[in-house]
Amino acid sequence: MPRIFLALFLALTLTLPAFAKKHSRPASVSATRGDKWAEKALRNLTVEEKIGQVFMIWCRVSFLNVESAEYLQWLEAMQKYHVGSFAMSVHVDGPFLLRTEPYETAELLNRLQRESRLPLLFAADFERGVSTRLLGTTNFPHAMAFGADGQTEDAETFGRITAQEARAVGVHWNFFPDADVNSNPANPIINTRSFGEDPKQVGDLVTAYIKGAREAGMLTTVKHFPGHGDTATDSHLGVASVNGDRAHLDSIELPPFRQAIAAGVDSVMVAHVTVPALDSDPNHVASISPAVVSDLLEKQLGFKGLIVTDALDMAGLTHLFASNIGRAAVEAFKAGNDLLIIPADLGASYESMLKAVRSGEISPERLDHSVLKILKLKGGLGLYKARTVDLSAIATVVGKPENIAFGQQVADAAITLVRDNGKVLPLKSKGTAKGGLPYMTREETHNQVVAVLFSDDVRTESGRAFGREFRARIPDARVIYVDPRSAAGMSDDVLKAVDEAQTVVAAVYVIPTAGKIGNSVGMADATGMLLQQVLDHAAEKTAVVAMGNPYLASDFAKIENYMCTFSNATVSEVGAIKALFGEIPIRGHLPVTIPNVAQRGAGLERPAQVAKGGYQHAQN
């Protein structure tokens, strides 16, 4: 009998904490909630602790034991350097983004919250929703797809769903929306991350996203101030320059930021770009320029929220401080930034800031000004009352079927038909006759359709959903995956297949990739040459689908059938297939101008040609 009572007692005590613990409950972001707590907390911080609050470092989530070296490094950052914020991301292995699970993420962030004296802020780059980093979440296309869709209410819903899922796993703050106006087709790093090239449309979509996100309890950020859209260099790798005069900045680059500030955006991220019209010093990028941060952003535009740097480890900034990397943090802080993100060397940066405060180079009042802003953000989220999330609630919030359907709906609506010679689209789908026994099927199709899928690396996910959906409609279709390493060796086989086919689809996966050597939004020489050969052989019977960069057609004058998805997300792959086969209406319009091809606003509309789901799937 005593054993039975002991078992019951243990069972009860193990389940009680689940009910007794107080978890953070997302609510609309408040400007004043927690202000008193923030002021009191500031008074109780030492100088060393205050300096730690102005730094944010990486937290690459996965399952980690409490004694894992990576986990212990984070504890050291909190204990030794008093770091108060983390940028949540995942590990990368070459071209592979090692996305992880929502539960693993939430458990790890909860654990770190419990280890910290003050509540931690967790931010992330959820540019395409939480699915950018985590599995099982709602999949959205890139921002430019929302520009092609053109519905501000969809951008608002995008913000709301992202906020709900982010807060469910313990992330409070998104480094999004992107307020850059992508007016330069050669821009290697913004491209589809921007809503488009029209400042008014970009501003409207930005403000709609902010509204939805903040109502659901997530902090928002507009980037990359004062505008990274009219540049031709990736600031992760080098110094990008915004060369327009002040009139150009006022008419093109700045309007979306003005709209975002009026809409109550929580933070502005400052870019590592040179802006000669604002600061002629060749050794000043915007992030360390008082003229850009303090004068333009704070005084002229009247922004009172949190000012954050782009990652301090980017080459656009670090090349200026190669001999003393810690000074980058000091100069960025002196320019007017409040939060210093991803320092190249945390220890050196922390010591440089401490030295600057102790010497009087940075006044106590200036330090307190930024730390209080950060603490008020934490207070506004209610983290001083409850900082962890309820793991049991994840299954009711993350990956809701209706949200997943919405992400697909936007991807479908964004599909834009730019050229159509009337000879290829819509494609004809054929089924497979079912046999009497499992796996006993007989293919009926012999229409010789070839799909050539071009990507940076055939080992990645690019094209996998496209290929599956394509074969589901035409079981005997030949699907060929090509990347720069294989293109030359495969060219003869590819061209032979193209010559023999009645119809060819060329899907090109090119998206902006941070830190990629070379042009990240242009095709590599080998794959570009092969695509040109395909067009030389069979342009009339070939449909080219831009699974990302819409400007692709400018480099291939022979394209006769051209469709844009503005994204390589899975939902965009599925949407492209449905549009190719006439299963959905095509109604998207270009949010950018494609030089020598089509103007912004162009788009050939087509009604659906077949009933939805009107094809017969191949058997698995």
Domains of the chain are 51-79+92-397 (3.20.20.300), 415-580 (3.40.50.1700)
Q: Give residue 241's pLDDT.
A: 85
In this predicted structure, which of 75-89, 240-254, 336-350, 438-452 has the lowest mean pLDDT? 438-452
- How would residue 188 be classed by pLDDT, with cut points 50, 70 and 90? confident
pTM given for the model: 0.92
Q: What angle do CA 132, 118, 327 make, to 5 degrees?
A: 70
Identify which of 42, 37, 23 has the alpha carbon closest to the alpha carbon of residue 371: 42
| pLDDT per residue as tens digits for the range 117-129 | 999 999 999 999 9
Q: Give residue 381's pLDDT.
A: 95
CB atoms within 10 A of CB 450: 24
Rounded CA separation 32/25 (Å): 17
519 vs 60, residue with greater confidence: 60
Q: Give residue 283's pLDDT.
A: 86
pLDDT at 15 over 70: no
Q: Residue 362 to residues 336, 341, 343, 344, 586: CA-CA distances in angstroms?
A: 11, 18, 18, 21, 57
Strand boundaries in 38-179, DSSP class E: 55-60, 85-89, 91-93, 96-98, 121-124, 173-174
Q: Give residue 7's pLDDT.
A: 44
Q: Residue 385 to residues 17, 123, 488: CA-CA distances in angstroms?
A: 17, 19, 61
537 vs 188, residue with greater confidence: 537
pLDDT at 35 over 80: yes
Q: Residue 368 to residues 39, 44, 375, 598: CA-CA distances in angstroms?
A: 10, 12, 10, 52
Share of the chain above pLDDT 70, in %: 89
Rounded CA separation 72/93 (Å): 22
Can you name the residues that pair with 546 across neighbouring β-strands? 508, 564
Q: Give residue 2's pLDDT.
A: 47
Contact 153, 118 (CB under 8 A): no
Rounded CA separation 225/542 (Å): 41
Identify which of 526, 516, 595 has the alpha carbon closest to the alpha carbon of residue 555: 595
pLDDT at 24 over 80: no
| pLDDT per residue as tens digits for the range 198-232 | 999 999 999 999 999 999 999 999 999 999 988 87
Mean pLDDT over residues 340-359, rounded?
Answer: 98
DSSP letter (8 states) at residue 559: -
Mean pLDDT over residues 398-426, rounded?
Answer: 98
Share of the chain above pLDDT 90, in %: 82
Mean pLDDT over residues 544-559, rounded?
Answer: 96
CB atoms within 10 A of CB 244: 18
DSSP-H helix ranges across 439-587: 464-473, 487-500, 525-538, 570-580
Q: Give residue 18's pLDDT.
A: 38
Q: Helices then strands (H, E): number in the chain?
A: 21, 20
pLDDT at 16 over 70: no
> Quick check: helix, strand or coil at residue 593?
coil
pLDDT at 4 over 60: no
- Burial grade of 66 (CB within 10 A; 0-12, 13-18, 19 or more): exposed
Phi, psi of 86 (to 5 degrees): -130, 145
96 vs 359, residue with greater confidence: 359
Contact 179, 196 (CB under 8 A): no
pLDDT at 243 over 50: yes
- How would residue 437 be classed by pLDDT, with cut points 50, 70 and 90? low
CB atoms within 10 A of CB 63: 12
| pLDDT per residue as tens digits for the range 555-581 | 999 999 999 999 999 999 999 999 999
Rounded CA separation 223/202 (Å): 12
